[in-house]
Structure 1
Amino acid sequence: MITIIGPTASGKTSYATHLAHRLSSEIISADSRQVYRGMDLGTGKDLADYQVEGIQIPYHLIDIMPAGSRYNLFAYQHDFHRVYADMLARGIEHPILCGGTGMYVESVLRGYHLPDVPPNEALREQLRPYSLDELKQTLATYGPLHNKTDVDSAQRAIRAIEIAEYIRQQREQGIEHTEFPPIESLIICLDLSREARRERISQRLHQRLEEGMTAEVEQLLASGVKPEDLIYYGLEYKFVTQYVIGEIDYTTMRQQLEIAIHQFAKRQMTWFRGMERRGFTLHYLDALLPMPEKIAQTEALMRQHGYL
């Protein structure tokens, strides 16, 4: 499998579709918001990019959920493996995973064990006074029950304990859970300077507002999606919804949204660099290279690592 990651506005979709065209492949999205129907401009689906030289590039896990619903990592992992197994069965030699949601990407590459664990409010209340170090010590007592998890905050540590406790109880009752194997992948990260990234984010935001992002939110609200449900999705849908319902003015909406997207892109790169610390090898590719050069460098990497 080929995995394409990178910050927002780095050109992942266009690059992935051109690579898919070259390899006669298909694309599996790894974007936590592109799963929702009707949320197109705000999530950057760029569906026109899936036409390359007159050929429609097949894509998966886009537009699979109604706007206003809640999707999660557990569902994504199962949906990914269903699609991935089908692609392999049809002889797709190099499926392409493409997206900017680092946790979605890492969950399938590493093979996270993610049972659909309901909240345990009593346990959460019990653990709330504990320090992060104490929570880590508690988690360690579960031994191999829980996958190695980044617990860099008390909230994440409590959730990890909650999952581990749920698994322990289920196993005591003789109930086992599906675990997915890790997937070997050539990981390519589109890279661009902070200045270039900020410029492209600002340009793209202007373009999407011009193309009707406000009208998209108005249509979603008119279809019955509640404002609080759109605000839950964050970024474009949070700020544009607040503008549409009159909580903020247009100038404030645009300024705050631009700042939020820049911060989001920074967090994306922090996650991807963290993947390297967690044992993944990332191959950085200049996002500003002409497309033929990007494809040529990708093919060289694939040959170097035995993919071609």
Structure 2
Amino acid sequence: MQNQKMITILGPTASGKTAVAAALALRTGGEIISADSRQVYRRMDIGTGKDLADYTIGDVKIPYHLIDIAEPGTKYNLFQYQQDFHEAYDEIRSRDKLPILCGGTGLYIEAVLGGYSLSPVPQNQALRDSLEGKSLEELTRMLVELKRQNGSNMHNRTDVDTAQRAIRAIEIETYNLEHPTPERQMPPVESLIIGINIDRELRREKITRRLKARLDEGMCDEIQGLIDGGVNPEDLIYYGLEYKFITEYVIGRTSYDEMFRQLEIAIHQFAKRQMTWFRGMERRGYTIHWIDAAKSMDEKVDAIEALMNQMQ
């Protein structure tokens, strides 16, 4: 059995964290558990940035988990993620392999590392009806107040970039206010946490370059195909970022240029919020060992292995 229980590799979008996780898995014989709230969906490949090619190095296919496990249009959530994470984690450990948790969804990462106990929150149609028509700004103010009442910091602000997501967040906070969550029951998971730190200007440049490349690769066609396959456009808009702005373009609500401009801004803001979450984790007591994204891949993996050896 590996002495190290788990390695966590986190970072903002476009930091190159998946390639680092795959290179580390190649060296250690480890397996990757994705911590991305949208890569769970099948057939949503380009827009979620699965970069599945990163999981093949030479002739070696790196095993990965919790990607392509849910149907587009469904609402996968944190409660389901915790259950699926522990199933994958226990299975990997049972085979004496090293689990490598990798992703940018800070809420998912912190929930499994901290062992938060959650319950499935049912839909509250009356509440939803009462919130219909409110602006995102109004909904966000309501959410902030509910979080204050709950003493809650466990809802990711990156998940409320649409009114639909904000309403779901309010639904969760309202439920938790009326049904206090029991004592934590999920075991916390011991992990060495690595952060991939990318210079802000380089990150902005990579985000813009990657957005152009993904549009060239057929991201609009991917979303049109999902709609043609029966997925409700409003369900795609719920997923935010690429799916929100490109769906609005595909169904004729915005022009291509307006879609690109708004989406580029939204992704930059998303990356900034991801970093804010990770800095918040540090304030909440998590030690993150930051590694410069500009280093060579060998240097990055060497640095992680050195930290692993220090922790043993």
Which of the five TM-score ranges fits, normalised by the shorter chain?
0.7 to 0.9
* 2:230 is aligned with 1:224: yes
Structure 2 unaligned spans of 5+: 1-5, 131-138, 158-165
In structure 2, what is the Cα distance between the partners aligned to 1:105 and 1:65?
19
In structure 2, what is the Cα distance between the partners aligned to 1:290 and 1:40?
27
Cα shift at 1:222: 0.9
8 Å Cα contact 1:119-1:162 kept in structure 2: no
TM-score, length basis structure 2: 0.84
* 2:88 is aligned with 1:83: yes
* 2:113 is aligned with 1:109: yes
Cα shift at 1:226: 1.1
Cα shift at 1:304: 1.4
Name which of structure 1's ranges 49-58 and 101-110 shifts more when overlaid on structure 2. Answer: 49-58
* 2:270 is aligned with 1:264: yes
Cα 1:208–1:123 shift into 2, 3 Å: closer
Question: Paired residue for 1:42?
Answer: 47
Question: Paired residue for 1:144?
Answer: none
8 Å Cα contact 1:139-1:157 kept in structure 2: no
8 Å Cα contact 1:3-1:186 kept in structure 2: yes
Matches within 5 A, 1:194-273: 194-273=200-279
SS in 2 for 1:67: coil
Question: Paired residue for 1:22?
Answer: 27
Question: Paired residue for 1:96?
Answer: 100
| Percent of aligned pairs sharing the same letter | 56
SS in 2 for 1:36: coil
Cα 1:152–1:116 shift into 2, 3 Å: closer
* 2:191 is aligned with 1:185: yes
In the alignment of these two chains, the number of paired residues is 288
SS in 2 for 1:284: strand
8 Å Cα contact 2:31-2:62 kept in structure 1: yes
Cα 1:200–1:103 shift into 2, 3 Å: same
Name which of structure 1's ranges 269-278 and 151-160 shifts more when overlaid on structure 2. Answer: 151-160
* 2:7 is aligned with 1:2: yes
In structure 2, what residue type is equivalent to 1:263? Q
1:74-95: CA deviations, max 9, x gaps? 0000000011111111111x21
In structure 1, what is the Cα distance between the partners aligned to 2:57 and 2:240?
31
SS in 2 for 1:37: coil
In structure 2, what residue type is equivalent to 1:303? N
* 2:37 is aligned with 1:32: yes
RMSD (Å) for aligned C-alpha atoms: 2.9
TM-score, length basis structure 1: 0.85
Cα shift at 1:196: 0.7
In structure 1, what is the Cα distance between the partners aligned to 2:156 and 2:99?
32
1:24-78: CA deviations, max 9, x gaps? 0100000000000000000000001110121110100000011111100000000
Cα 1:191–1:70 shift into 2, 3 Å: same
In structure 2, what is the Cα distance between the partners aligned to 1:301 and 1:213?
38
In structure 2, what residue type is equivalent to 1:57? I
Structure 1 unaligned spans of 5+: 141-147, 169-175
Cα 1:68–1:119 shift into 2, 3 Å: closer
Cα 1:184–1:164 shift into 2, 3 Å: farther
> Larger C-alpha radius of gyration, 1 or 2?
1
In structure 2, what residue type is equivalent to 1:166? H
Cα shift at 1:118: 2.6
Cα 1:57–1:157 shift into 2, 3 Å: same
Cα 1:150–1:81 shift into 2, 3 Å: closer
